[in-house]
């Protein structure tokens, strides 16, 4: 069944494929044709023909080869960025950093390396548009709000250890990466970070403490140190070395975050619970600060003092979002009572779901992609969408 918006118009995402190898274009079209919310509006085998089709059909997304005889993909993307609202995702046989940088410079929203895989193509598309469930008004340009890059640091902080801060931070970063193009997860737990385990990236040896000098934080350094997970999220993992952690002070964290955020749509910081100077640097920059609590009296008390402390430090109440985790988990305190006691509503409530979460944690597979339909996953996707609207409205 075709997707229709309330006014009856075809609301499918319109896609144009440009590749001089007709077989590649046809294969991609075949993959996309199985998706009821996507529609391939044309195939072209040269950039010029592609530009003509793009002007005529006004696609939302253009999947385009980089190397083509005549005008190449980069030149075509440049022209597209000047005259059309379409978002370009490149497909290239070359896995080359410089080329990627060039591609992003001309406005590309994604870069796929050939040989292509159906899953990768689909997730690249879904990362660019806000799907599923987005109500789109007809076939015009994409309307998903996009924040300005370089402004959005989101801190996730637990009231006390074990309330689910890291699990939520990691899954939130993955969910955000589906609707924003560049997301980094910073594991600021300098003594004992878990995010590399949660993302099954424990082989990664580059760590956050390698970024000390803000002046050295550039695209190339980030590309090698912030390792890319298969979902597109990058991770700055916590250091293994306690000595390195000790040397990481308030100014280092502050300077590093200020630089890193320039390169991403969202910088999600898994923030440690100890109220030290490193945290203060994170809280100073982050907006919003997501404070995670379970409905347990000890956690609630800690949240209370954390919120008071943040207020004393001049953090406006609307910058602090309360996140209830395991709200139906047999704690015998109803979410409403937690809200009353803290004088604040929950911005999101996640159910207790031991099966889904334990499996996700043990395998290092984010539940937001592996168990997309579970209630806990839906709550995190919903939170990601709300964050996107929040930052877009600022
Ligand atoms: N919604 C949930 N349902 C069930 N178990 C959860 C949930 N959230 C977290 N957990 C469990 O709590 C453990 C600790 O979570 P974690 O994110 O590491 O806590 P923190 O970072 O706050 O110390 C997880 O490994 C998982 O087993
Ligand atoms: Mg943690």
Q: 57: domain CATH number? A: 3.40.50.2300
> Which CATH number belongs to the domain containing residue 219 in this structure?
3.40.50.300
| Residue 94 in domain | yes
* Nearest bound ligand to the CA of residue 164: 1
Cα separation, 121 vs 114, in Å, equals 10
Ligand closest to the CA atom of residue 290? 1
Where a domain ends, among 128, 144, 163?
Answer: 128
Ligand 1 pocket residue status of 371, Cβ below 6 Å: no
Query: Is 139 inside a domain boundary?
Result: no
Q: Write down the pLDDT at residue 2.
A: 46
HEC string of 43-88?
Answer: EECCHHHHHHHHHHHCCCEEEEECCCCCCCHHHHHHHHHHHCCCEE
Ligand 1 probe mutation, 155, 164, 357, most atoms within 8 A of CB = 164
- Whether residue 1 is contained in a domain is answered as no
Regarding whether 343 and 200 lie in a shared domain, the answer is: yes
Q: What digits encode the pLDDT tens for the residues 21-62?
A: 999 999 999 999 988 889 999 999 999 999 999 999 999 999
148 within a domain of the structure (yes/no): no
Indicate yes or no: pTM above 0.75. no
Residues of the chain with pLDDT under 50: 1-2, 131-148
| CA dihedral sign of residues 255, 256, 262, 268 | negative
171 and 121 part of one domain: no
Shared domain for 219 and 77, answered yes or no, is no
Total number of domains in the chain? 2
Give pLDDT, residue 116.
Answer: 93
Do 173 and 24 share a structural domain? no
Question: Which ligand 1 atom sits closest to the C-alpha of 169?
Answer: 17
Contact between 110 and 83 under an 8 Å Cβ cutoff? The reply is: no
How far is Cα 388 from Cα 369, in angstroms, rounded to an integer? 18
- Based on the fold, state whether residues 163 and 256 are members of the same structural domain: yes
**Residue given tokens 């293994």 in the structure block:** 240
Tell me, yes or no, whether 123 and 199 share the same domain: no
Digit-coded pLDDT (tens) for 72-111:
999 999 888 878 888 899 999 988 877 877 787 677 888 8
Do the Cβ atoms of 347 and 323 come closer than 8 Å? yes
pLDDT at 64: 97
Judge if 218 and 305 occupy the same domain. Answer: yes
Q: Is residue 236 part of a domain?
A: yes
Same domain (yes/no): 115, 227:
no
Q: Are 179 and 380 in contact (CB under 8 A)?
A: no
The answer, yes or no, to whether any atom of ligand 1 lies below 6 A from the CB of 350, is: yes
User: Is residue 217 domain-shared with residue 104, that is, in the same domain?
Assistant: no
> 186 CA distance to ligand 1 centroid (A)?
18
Quick check: is 145 in a domain? no
**Predicted local confidence at residue 147, as pLDDT:** 40
Q: Give me the domain span that covers residue 299.
A: 153-392
193 and 109 belong to one structural domain: no
pLDDT at 150: 55
62 and 99 Cβ atoms separated by less than 8 Å: no
State if residue 192 touches ligand 1 by the CB under 6 angstroms criterion.
no
Distance between Cα 162 and ligand 1 center (Å):
6
Residue after which a domain boundary falls, among 87, 112, 128: 128
Whether residue 65 is contained in a domain is answered as: yes
143 assigned to some structural domain: no
Query: Same structural domain for residues 40 and 78?
Result: yes
214, 260: one domain? yes
């Amino acid at each position: 069944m075709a997707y229709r918006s309330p006014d009856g118009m075809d609301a499918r995402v319109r896609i144009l494929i440009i590749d001089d190898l007709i077989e590649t274009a046809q294969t991609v079209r075949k993959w996309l044709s199985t998706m009821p919310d996507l529609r391939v509006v044309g195939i072209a085998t040269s950039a010029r023909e592609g530009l003509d089709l793009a002007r005529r059909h006004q696609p939302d997304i253009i999947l385009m080869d980089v190397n083509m005889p005549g005008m190449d993909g980069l030149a075509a993307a440049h022209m597209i960025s000047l005259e059309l609202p379409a978002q370009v995702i490149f497909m290239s046989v070359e896995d080359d950093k410089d080329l990627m940088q060039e591609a992003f410079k001309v406005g590309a929203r994604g870069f796929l390396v050939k040989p292509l895989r159906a899953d990768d193509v689909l997730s690249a598309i879904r990362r660019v548009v806000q799907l599923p469930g987005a109500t789109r008004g007809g076939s015009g340009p994409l309307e998903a709000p996009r924040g300005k890059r370089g402004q959005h640091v989101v801190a996730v902080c637990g009231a006390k250890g074990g309330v689910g801060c890291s699990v939520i931070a990691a899954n939130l970063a993955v969910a955000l990466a589906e609707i924003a193009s560049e997301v980094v997860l910073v594991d600021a737990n300098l003594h004992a970070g878990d995010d590399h385990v949660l993302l099954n990236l424990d082989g990664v040896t580059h760590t956050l403490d390698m970024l000390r000098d803000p002046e050295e934080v550039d695209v190339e350094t980030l590309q090698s140190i912030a390792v890319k997970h298969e979902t597109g999220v990058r991770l700055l993992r916590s250091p293994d070395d306690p000595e390195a952690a000790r040397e990481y002070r308030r100014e280092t964290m502050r300077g590093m975050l200020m630089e890193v955020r320039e390169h991403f749509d969202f910088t999600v910081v898994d923030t440690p619970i100890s109220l030290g100077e490193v945290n203060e640097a994170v809280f100073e920059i982050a907006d919003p600060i997501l404070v995670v609590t379970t409905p347990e009296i000890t956690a609630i008390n800690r949240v209370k003092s954390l919120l008071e402390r943040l207020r004393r430090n001049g953090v406006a109440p609307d910058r602090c979002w309360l996140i209830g985790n395991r709200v139906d988990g047999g704690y015998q305190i109803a979410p409403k009572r937690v809200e009353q006691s803290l004088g604040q509503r929950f911005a999101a409530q996640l159910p207790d779901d031991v099966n889904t979460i334990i499996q996700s944690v043990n395998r290092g597979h984010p539940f937001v992609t592996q168990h997309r339909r579970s209630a806990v996953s839906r709550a995190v996707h919903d939170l990601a969408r709300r964050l996107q609207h929040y930052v877009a409205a600022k």
